[in-house]
Structure 1
Amino acid sequence: MKHARNAAPGLPGVTRNLFASMGTTGKVVFAALAAVVAATPLGAWNAVADDAVPLAADAPVEVGPYEVAVEKVVSTRTLGDVQPLDPADKLLVVVVQVTNVSDVPARGYQLADIVPAPAGAGILDLEGRPVPDDVAPGDRPLPDRYNIADAGELDVINPGVTYRAALVWNQDGDASPGTARVDLAGLDWIDEGFAGLDDEYWLPTHEITHSGRFDVEPPASRSGAADGAADGAADGAGDADSTGDAGEGSADATDDDVTDGDGDGTGAGAGIAGGTDA
């Protein structure tokens, strides 16, 4: 089952489709012209499209072959085995529910095109440099993607299955935003590419279709995490019906819960499925 926009693509859509059908030389020339236009006020980036639909927590939005709902935004020092690139920094996590509403498997990497890095959240690129809030969606740093159920990377999204995913970016250690702007960007269906190559695929538009402000849950306090870890370790050791290992106790003890789960697992799975560490 294919999904496409109901309305005509308009000039931006026609331009994208034309670009998709070009050969390599044509794309190079087109990109050079686009760079010149972007350097002028006429081509300046508009951070949020005027017609962007308001985005609210837990509200499902259909984008390409997916139905996506943003649950919440969390700032944390670690996420299980996932660490920031610099120990002094933090992680920003956007928790989403995503369902493949088509009848064929889809690629998880497309979530990075649909959910760009949040604005106003202190996001850092891979070089540790701050990302300006007015950067276009396609130029924002890509997140790591994790399936919360098993803490593995989310690579394939199977038809009819709803996944809870954690999209993770590096965040400036000094950033403490109360809110962040979360955007959703669209996908366009390409029936036929140039000369019959790369037919039938979803092309990122890098255009914001939905946008909303979300509260950012702060990291758990260090003292609270330490107290919780001690309590969790004691509970794990004293529970005759459980393995009671140290990993389980630590997972149960996390205070800043990304997923509202029980944290019964261990290792990376416990950290992502059970919560975050301060």
Structure 2
Amino acid sequence: MMAEAGGRLRRLARGAARRQPTVLSSVAGASVLAILVAGGFDPQEKTAELQPLVVDESVDLGPFDVTVRRLRVVDELPGVSESDDDTRVLALVATVSANGPKTQHGAMLTESVTLDGVTGVRADVFGEQPDDGEPVPAADAYVMADGSRLDAIQPGLEYEVAFVWEQDGAAEVPTTARLVLVGHTMRESSIDRSQEWLDPLPRVAGDLEVTEPEAETDAADDGDS
């Protein structure tokens, strides 16, 4: 679906422009650009006014509603990733649900939840590394109830999930991290005239406190005393 391809096409367009700067000046290049625009790539780099992030408040991102709960450093996610001397795992706990009557894909969801400016956090996006300074999408999202990967979001259901990123173990553990949520707009694709979720743009951003496992243990001990 073109909705899934919006972020991918935008990144491929940047790569193509770096490798072959004369392509877009040709007739063939104009055709390629038209396809990219239909898929969500905007050569004018449109921006939207960012709303402040509020914890425990639902955010409408178009295809999804996302409610951010907390951001933690975790020692491991069983069956998913284990922290070691080389890496650590950052996990954002959130509640998500799909809007509309159609099943939404997990790939679009993880592209919609990004960390910005966190040292040592890198992730592949469709086989390519994000450019330096770009927000990094979550590597994956997992259902908290059973640890399964969230590949599809069914309408009418609510999921408690963990969005995960791996951070270089040599980097300092952040005390706060900037979260940027990316929304999409339902509109007609100029390619096949179907209605799709297109035009990915940041909608909500804010800083979250990052909790370390030791801090959580200390807080629990203080509560018991």
TM-score by length of structure 1 reads 0.56
Is 2:212 the counterpart of 1:212? no
Q: What does residue 62 of structure 1 align with?
A: 60
> Is residue 146 of structure 2 the alignment partner of residue 150 of structure 1?
yes
Is structure 2 residue 110 aligned with structure 1 residue 112? yes
* CA deviations over 1:46-89 (Å, ceiling 9, x no partner): 9xx67210001111011113211111111123112222587521
Structure 1 stretches of 5 or more lacking a match?
1-15, 32-37, 222-253, 257-278
Query: Which runs of no fewer than 5 residues in structure 2 stay unpaired?
Result: 1-9, 14-27, 37-42, 219-225
Equivalent of 1:175, from 148, 172, 175? 172
Question: Which AA in structure 2 matches 1:111?
Answer: L
Q: Evaluate the alpha carbon distance shift between residue 82 and residue 131 of structure 1 in structure 2; reply closer, same or farther with a 3 A threshold.
A: farther
Alpha-carbon shift at residue 192 of structure 1 (Å): 3.5
> 1:185 is matched with which residue?
182
1:211-257 alpha-carbon deviations (Å, 9 max, x no partner) = 11100011348xxxxxxxxxxxxxxxxxxxxxxxxxxxxxxxx959x
What whole-Å deviation, never above 9, does each CA across 1:101-144 have from its counterpart, x for those lacking one? 312221122111211234335312359x9974x31x4xx35411
Cross-structure match for 2:25: none
User: Match of 1:276?
Assistant: none
Match of 1:233?
Answer: none
Secondary structure of the corresponding residue to residue 116 of structure 1: strand
Runs of 4+ in 1 over 3 A off after TM superposition: 24-31, 84-87, 129-132
Percent of aligned pairs sharing the same letter: 28
Check conservation: 1:121, 1:179, Cα contact below 8 A. no
Paired positions, count: 184
- Give the Cα–Cα distance (whole angstroms) in 2 for the partners of residues 182 and 85 of structure 1: 22
Q: Are 2:112 and 2:137, in contact at CA under 8 Å, matched by a contact in 1?
A: no
Pick 1 or 2: higher relative contact order, CA cutoff 8 A, min separation 6: 2
Is the 2:79–2:147 contact (alpha carbons within 8 Å) kept by the matching residues of 1? no
SS of 2:56's partner is coil
Q: Scaled by the length of structure 2, what TM-score is found?
A: 0.68
Letter in 1 for 2:188: D
SS at match of 2:115: coil
Q: How does 1:68-147 map to 2 (within 5 A)?
A: 68-83=66-81, 87-120=85-118, 122-125=120-123, 132=132, 134-135=133-134, 137=135, 140-147=136-143
